[in-house]
Amino acid sequence: MTARRLQGRACVLVNTGSELARSCALRLADENAELLLVDPERAVAQQVAGEVTARGGRAEPMQAAPADEEAIGRVAGRCEQIWGRLDVLVVTAGELDWWPEENDSVAMWERSLRVNLLTPVFFTKLLLPLLARSGSASVVYYGSVDGLLGNPRVPAYSAGRGGLVPYTHLMAGIGGAQNIRVNYIAGAGISPEGPEAPRRQRTTLPAEMADLLSATPLGRAAEGSDVAGLVAFLASPDAAYITGAVVVMDGGRCSMTPGTAIRVPR
Task: Evaluate if pTM is beyond 0.85.
Answer: yes
Q: What pLDDT is stored for residue 201 in this prediction?
A: 36
CB neighbour list of residue 214: distance below 8 Å, 6 or more residues apart: 263, 266
Do 36 and 82 form a contact (C-beta atoms < 8 A)? Answer: yes
Q: How far is CA 143 from CA 84, 104, 231, 265, in A?
A: 28, 21, 12, 28
Dist CA 186 CA 137 (whole Å)? 21
Q: What is the pLDDT along the chain (266 residues), one digit of tens a residue?
A: 566 889 999 999 999 888 899 999 999 999 999 999 999 999 999 999 999 999 999 999 999 999 999 999 999 999 999 999 999 999 998 887 766 655 678 888 899 999 999 999 999 999 999 999 999 999 999 999 989 988 888 889 999 999 999 999 999 999 999 999 999 999 987 776 544 333 333 344 556 667 777 778 887 888 889 999 999 999 999 999 999 999 999 888 888 777 666 665 55
| Type and span of the H or E element at 97 | none
**What is the 3-class SS of 155-175, one letter each residue?**
HHHHHHHHHHHHHHHHHHHHH
Q: Which residues of 88-109 are buried (b: 16+ CB within 10 A; e: fewer)?
A: bbbbbbbbbeeeeeeeeeeeee
Mapped onto helix, strand or coil, the DSSP state of residue 144 is strand
Closest to 203 in 3D by CA, of 221, 216, 217, 185: 221
Other C-beta atoms lying within 10 Å of the C-beta of residue 257: 7
Dist CA 70 CA 58 (whole Å)? 25
Mapped onto helix, strand or coil, the DSSP state of residue 93 is coil
CB neighbour list of residue 120: distance below 8 Å, 6 or more residues apart: 14, 91, 93, 141, 164, 167
Domains of the chain are 10-254 (3.40.50.720)
Dist CA 59 CA 155 (whole Å)? 35
Dist CA 209 CA 205 (whole Å)? 6
Do 220 and 264 form a contact (C-beta atoms < 8 A)? Answer: no
Dist CA 201 CA 192 (whole Å)? 9
